[in-house]
Amino acid sequence: MELDRSIKFPDTDEAQDLVKWGLDSFHPAVALACSFSLEDVVLVHMAVQVRPDVRVFAIDTGRLNEETYQCADVVRRRLGVTIEWYFPKREDVERLEREKGLFSFHESLEARHECCRIRKVEPLSRALSGMKAWITGLRRKQGVTRSELKPIVRDEAHGGIIKISPLAAWEFEQLWNYVGHHNLPYNRLHDFGYPSIGCEPCTRAVQPGEDSRAGRWWWESPEHKECGLHINDNKQGCRTLQNQR
């Protein structure tokens, strides 16, 4: 979908203002990606204050924790949102597991990327089809692959649509403060040392002193800890829009 080049970009990096700008500028062709982490629950709450009919989508990889499903259902009921679930293509998952087993992602970085591509990246491409923008819960403090994250970029990996990360500058403590202040539900895994939550077999609790994404694909180097949903904006050609703001 072609973007309106006359769109005025905001002069603020305040999270609530960025959420409002994204929804006001692009609705109904904007959606909030939700994996039911602390970040995503905060964003859903911000978004429903602007538009109760905000589009929220989630990807069910088939390997999520039970706590994530429980959180999703509480968020759906408490915040009154409809969650658009996307699943991997059945035939691709069947082929992967038939040919390479249930834990091929442990064998190599390439094998892990293949699993993520089938279970996450391809469903995301369908979720973003026809969108002009999407909202994510990315933060700079989540790891080295996100340390230079900008709150607004043009997402060249998904057709040049606008990608908005309102919480880019937030600290983890700010998330907890927001959740507590508004009495929001959250994924119970956060209480057991999981600051970052993905698929069950690829996520563990972090140890004291480790960064927040140390528990994701813990057998890999920190610079590899992305699944393909979020390509590093500074190294993969997504240009920031600061000069257009």
Q: Which residues are part of the catalytic machinery?
A: 227
Contact 138, 131 (CB under 8 A): no
Query: How many Cβ atoms from other residues are within 10 Å of residue 35's Cβ?
Result: 21
Give DSSP secondary structure letters for the chain: ----TTPPPPS---HHHHHHHHHHHHTTSEEEE---SHHHHHHHHHHHHH-TT--EEEE--S-B-HHHHHHHHHHHHHHT--EEEE---HHHHHHHHHHH-S-GGGT-HHHHHHHHIIIIIHHHHHHTTT-SEEE----GGG-GGGTT--SEEEEGGGTTEEEE-TTTT--HHHHHHHHHHHT----GGGGGT-SS--BGGGB-PPPTT--TTTTBSTTS-GGG---SSS--TTTSSPPB-GGG-
